[in-house]
Chain A
Amino acid sequence: MIDGSVAGSTGPAHASGLAIETTALTKRFGRQTVVDDLALSVPRGSVFGFLGPNGSGKTTTIRMLLGLAQASDGEISVLGERMPQRLGSVLPRVGALIEGPGFYPFLSGSANLRRLDSADGFAPNGTRSARVSRALDTVGLGHAADKKVRAYSLGMKQRLGIANALLAPRDLIVLDEPTNGLDPQGTREVRSLIRSLADEGTTVFVSSHLLAEIEQMCTHAAVMRAGKLVAQGTLDELRSAGTTRVIVTTPDADAAARVLRTLGLDPGHPDAPGPAVTATLSESIEPEDIVAALVAAGVRVRGFAVDHASLEDLFVALTGEGFDVVQ
């Protein structure tokens, strides 16, 4: 497990600068353990990517964070308060999109938002209409406000779901796969929306299985695999935890491999075709020493590269190559 532990997050839940903290969070459905001993630390003000393949337990974790499902074990604190005990004072400060939007098909978009807003006991009635139209404008649904949700497209419903999370000023916004069903323009808008929320100081917790998306907008990330947290930290910490490879381009592949082996590396043939040898770089060897050794051994070096693993390589390494859902 790679743990670029964030802000020394082992202290008691209430005293820390964390927007979300869980300890030993576990959820079992019957015999299946869907979330297993989760220790999440989401710093305040971060844009936190929650990554994991299908069925890895992201949505289940979010349901527990928001008091929809009870944890089988472990503790949760959100915005410094215990959940679900302090649900009534925590949730008004949290906006959420959980596993897709949910609306009354027979009501218009704005009527739906007014309805959900009226359920929040702390939302003032007087500004309801103004807040609803502001949220609709933010997600680009101003013109479809009076259309029945039944007649909304998938992406429009998704946008309406995001608008619902933005109805009131929030300290934390939880978005479960927010760009699901959105067109490229909508995806970009969501990304810039998330950035502007973060600029205002809102913590954004966003789940996704799309790595590129996380890489573009997050400051921190955690990776789930089959209910377990396999990595957590800032993006830089995660990247540096990944492997670094050297790639030697040479017509003397066998000789190069021999040299690398004498240096204690484990060379293999690269995925790309062509006369090249690759090896995972270990910390004890500097790249320039490898070049020197190769040249000294008479290997005709035509190219030499040090390749940091992309987050995607890390993600695949952590969560497995296979397409099959783990559980």
Chain B
Amino acid sequence: MSSSDPRASGLNARRTTRSLGAGFFASELAVLFRRRRTWAMLLALAAVPILIAVAVRISSSGSSGRGPAFIDSITQNGLFVGIAGLTIAIPLFLPLTVGVVAGDSIAGEANTATLRYLLVSPVGRIRLLVVKYLAAVVFCLAAALTLSIAGILIGIALFPVGPVTLLSGDTVGIGDSLVRSLLIALYATVSLLGLSAVGLFISTLTDAPVGAMAATVVLSIVAQVLDSLSQTEWLHPWLFSHYWLGFADLLRQPIEWSSFGQNALLQLGYVVVFGALAYGRFSSKDILS
């Protein structure tokens, strides 16, 4: 080991400088993705576009021409299945899984009593928060990509695939439309950054992971309800869920980036505020679990 103390040898060697934590981040991802729960959630998400596609395929003999956005388009072009799946999963299924991962982040460690051992390792409280948050973000990305990719694959299997007609009326090729599907998955990931930060903060408040998960999910629903009430209109632009379904602008030619930017800015605000709250709470907390 180049970085180890030359006086000590073999197994007793120690690093002389502290590592930045890449190893711990890798370990965090390994723990997250070695859990059966994580895979069960990703499988459940993958089932959403598959169920939609199968249901539409079975009943598509007499095309209804009604239903949620994008569902109609599926029969004409299988590449829309991924987008339809995301649209249906964004209000509930995605926040549910993200709530589980983010709510579990600190409270879950407290619950298994591993939190105290991580802290005396010592992992450093800030580093632990940052790594936990980054792992939640990776999960958001994995969840959105799972939805997209499962949708595209089942779409290709069950429906005709060809050049896609965009909302602006332009037609783009298959390659371009796949890129746009990826962009939409990225948009969904960015949309969940704020909720992940809220979940991380709630997770520092309790030793009961289920409570933190439930509270996070409930907040995501409350935000969407408030967003749909005209009485709270002044509040709408500040709700983390406000732009969740605003990815339609990515389906125009040229791509309209302003909603992506607004969404990202809002989510960043939530990350800063709730990251600071989580830090304020966690950095001085007595770990008695």
Tell whether A pairs with B: yes
Query: Separation in Å of the B38 CB from the closest CB of chain A?
Result: 10
Residue from A68, A123, A134 within 8 A of B119 (CB atoms): A68
A3 CA to B114 CA, complexed, in Å: 37
Chain B 72-86 interface mask (CB, 8 Å, partner A; 1/0): 000000000000000
Q: Are B113 and A169 in contact (CB under 8 A)?
A: no
Closest Cβ neighbor of A96 among chain B residues = B120
B6 at the interface (CB under 8 A from A): no
A114 CB contacts on chain B under 8 angstroms: 27
A92 CA to B121 CA, complexed, in Å: 6
Tell me the B83-130 residues at the A interface (CB within 8 Å). 112-124, 127-128
Q: Are A124 and B8 in contact (CB under 8 A)?
A: no
Query: Separation in Å of the A31 CB from the closest CB of chain B?
Result: 16
Tell me the B1-46 residues at the A interface (CB within 8 Å). 1, 3-4, 8, 10-15, 18-21, 23-24, 26-27, 30-31, 34-36
Tell me the A57-76 residues at the B interface (CB within 8 Å). 63, 66-70
A119 at the interface (CB under 8 A from B): yes
Q: Are B35 and A122 in contact (CB under 8 A)?
A: no
Closest Cβ neighbor of B37 among chain A residues = A106
Closest Cβ neighbor of A122 among chain B residues = B15
Q: Are B284 and A100 in contact (CB under 8 A)?
A: no
Q: Are A100 and B288 in contact (CB under 8 A)?
A: no
A169 CA to B119 CA, complexed, in Å: 18
Residue from A96, A103, A104, A119 within 8 A of B123 (CB atoms): A119
Q: Are A124 and B121 in contact (CB under 8 A)?
A: no
B287 at the interface (CB under 8 A from A): yes
| Given contact pairs A68-B116, A100-B113, A121-B18, A106 touches B11 in the complex (Cβ within 8 A) | no
Q: Report the interface size class on chain B.
A: 35 or more
Query: Separation in Å of the A77 CB from the closest CB of chain B?
Result: 17
**Most chain A CB inside 10 Å of its own CB: which residue of B20, B23, B34:** B23
A125 CB contacts on chain B under 8 angstroms: 19, 23
Q: Are B1 and A126 in contact (CB under 8 A)?
A: yes
Closest Cβ neighbor of A87 among chain B residues = B122
| Given contact pairs A68-B116, A88-B18, A123-B15, A118 touches B24 in the complex (Cβ within 8 A) | yes
B23 CB contacts on chain A under 8 angstroms: 118, 125
Interface size on A, residues (CB 8 A): 42
Chain A 94-127 interface mask (CB, 8 Å, partner B; 1/0): 1010101111111100010011111111111111
A118 CA to B20 CA, complexed, in Å: 11
Residue from B1, B3, B31 within 8 A of A107 (CB atoms): B31
A204 at the interface (CB under 8 A from B): no
| Given contact pairs A104-B114, A131-B11, A168-B14, A120 touches B121 in the complex (Cβ within 8 A) | yes
Closest Cβ neighbor of A164 among chain B residues = B117
Interface of A is mostly: loop
B31 CB contacts on chain A under 8 angstroms: 104, 107, 115
B12 CB contacts on chain A under 8 angstroms: 169
A91 at the interface (CB under 8 A from B): yes
Closest Cβ neighbor of B25 among chain A residues = A118
Q: Are A69 and B286 in contact (CB under 8 A)?
A: yes
A118 CB contacts on chain B under 8 angstroms: 23-24, 26-27
Tell me the B165-210 residues at the A interface (CB within 8 Å). none
B112 CB contacts on chain A under 8 angstroms: 102-105
Closest Cβ neighbor of A94 among chain B residues = B120
Query: Separation in Å of the A51 CB from the closest CB of chain B?
Result: 22
Residue from A69, A115, A130, A169 within 8 A of B14 (CB atoms): A169
Closest Cβ neighbor of B3 among chain A residues = A124
A284 CA to B118 CA, complexed, in Å: 56
Closest Cβ neighbor of A135 among chain B residues = B11
A99 CA to B1 CA, complexed, in Å: 35
A sample of 12 inter-chain contacts (CB < 8 A) reads A67-B119, A96-B120, A103-B113, A107-B31, A115-B31, A116-B114, A118-B26, A119-B27, A119-B121, A122-B18, A124-B4, A131-B11
Given contacts A69-B288, A98-B116, A169-B12, 20 further A-B contacts (CB under 8 A): A63-B286, A63-B287, A63-B288, A67-B120, A70-B284, A88-B124, A102-B116, A116-B121, A118-B24, A118-B27, A120-B121, A121-B18, A121-B24, A121-B122, A122-B19, A124-B1, A124-B15, A127-B1, A127-B10, A168-B14
Please list the 4 inter-chain residue pairs (A to B) with the smallest Cβ-Cβ separation, ordered nearest first: A102-B113, A119-B121, A119-B123, A121-B18
